[in-house]
C-alpha cells in the first residue's frame, strides 16, 4: 500500500484512460406506467446532474453519466466505477410527448410523458431540454418544475418534501 497522494494531473490522466478503455456500466432499472407518464428509476451513485444526460428518441430513452473520477488507487475490491453508466429502455406505445428527469440521493427518475412522440430531445436532470429540431414544444409548467417552485416558496424544509416519484405519480 502506498501513502503517496495522486496529483490532479495524475487523476485526470487515469480517469481519461479508464473512460477510453471501459465498457459502460449497465444499470438496473425499475419502470412503471401511470396515466400521465412512463416512469423509469435507476441507481446513479457518485455523479451529479451535470454528469447525466437523458435522450428521448422515437425508439426509447437512453440515459448515461460520464465517468466522474478514476484516480490511481490500489483497490482491495473494485467492482464499479464512479460514473460511466449507460442504459437504453424502449418506451411503450402512447408515451414520448416529452421527458423530465431528476437526480436525488443517487437515484435517477425519468418521466416519459404520455402522448405521441414528436421530436428527439436530450436533457439533464432538473435542466432545460435541448432538441434536435427547431419546432420542439417550448418548455412549460411540468410536475417537476411545479414541485421545485413549491419547494422554493414553501416554508417547509426541502428535506421534508415528498419524494419526486410520489409527486410525479400523483400529478400524472
Closest CA to 133 of 58, 52, 60: 58
Domains and CATH numbers, the chain: 8-139 (2.60.40.790)
H-type alpha helices, 3-65: 8-21
pTM over 0.85: no
When comparing pLDDT for 144 and 38, which is higher? 38
Q: Is 30 helix (H, G, I), strand (E, B) or coil?
A: strand
Q: Which residues pair with 64 in a beta bridge?
A: 53, 86
Task: For residue range 3-52, list pLDDT tens digits in order.
Answer: 678 888 888 887 788 778 778 889 999 999 999 999 999 999 989 999 99
Question: pLDDT over 90 for what percent of the chain?
Answer: 47
Q: What is the C-alpha to C-alpha distance for residues 32 and 162, in angstroms, rounded to an integer?
A: 19
pLDDT at residue 161, as a whole number? 29
Question: pLDDT over 70 for what percent of the chain?
Answer: 71
Amino acid at each position: 500500500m502506498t501513502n503517496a497522494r495522486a496529483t490532479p494531473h495524475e487523476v485526470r490522466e487515469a480517469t481519461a484512460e479508464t473512460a477510453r478503455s471501459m465498457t459502460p456500466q449497465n444499470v438496473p432499472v425499475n419502470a412503471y406506467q401511470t396515466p400521465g407518464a412512463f416512469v423509469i428509476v435507476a441507481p446513479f451513485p457518485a455523479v451529479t446532474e451535470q454528469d447525466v444526460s437523458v435522450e428521448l428518441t422515437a425508439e426509447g430513452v437512453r440515459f448515461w453519466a460520464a465517468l466522474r473520477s478514476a484516480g490511481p488507487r490500489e483497490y482491495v475490491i473494485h467492482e464499479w466505477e464512479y460514473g460511466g453508466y449507460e442504459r437504453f429502455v424502449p418506451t411503450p406505445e402512447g408515451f414520448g410527448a416529452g421527458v423530465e428527469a431528476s437526480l436525488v440521493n443517487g437515484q435517477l427518475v425519468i418521466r416519459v410523458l404520455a402522448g405521441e412522440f414528436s421530436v428527439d430531445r436530450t436533457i439533464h436532470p432538473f435542466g432545460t431540454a435541448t432538441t434536435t429540431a427547431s419546432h420542439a414544444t417550448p418548455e412549460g409548467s411540468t410536475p417537476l418544475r411545479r414541485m421545485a417552485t413549491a419547494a422554493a416558496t414553501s416554508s417547509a424544509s426541502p428535506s421534508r418534501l415528498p419524494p419526486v416519484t410520489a409527486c410525479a405519480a400523483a400529478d400524472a
